[in-house]
Amino acid sequence: MLVRGRARLKAINAQPPAAPQPAPRPPSPAVARYVALFNRRDWEGLRALLADDVRLVQSAHPPRAGAADVGMFFDIYARSAPARLAPAWLEDREVIAVFEDPEAAKPSYLMWLEWTDGRISFIRDYHYVRYVVTTRSWSWRQTPRRQLRRPPTDDELRSAVTSRMPSTCS
Closest by CA position to 159, among listed 49, 29, 37, 39: 29
Task: List, as one string, the DSSP characters of 144-166.
Answer: PHHHHSSPPPHHHHHHHHHHTS-
User: What SS3 state is found at 73?
Assistant: helix
Q: Is the pLDDT of residue 124 over 80?
A: yes
| pLDDT tens-digit map of 62-101 | 999 999 999 998 998 899 888 899 998 887 789 999 998 8
Please give the domain boundaries of the chain with CATH numbers for all domains.
Answer: 23-158 (3.10.450.50)
Mean pLDDT in residue range 140-153: 45
- Tell me the one-letter amino acid at 76: I
User: What SS3 state is found at 78?
Assistant: helix
pLDDT at residue 165, rounded to an integer: 43
| pLDDT tens-digit map of 3-19 | 776 677 666 666 666 55
Closest by CA position to 90, among listed 55, 124, 46, 50: 124
| pLDDT tens-digit map of 127-137 | 877 666 665 55
Percentage of the chain lying above the pLDDT 90 cut: 38
pTM across the whole model: 0.66
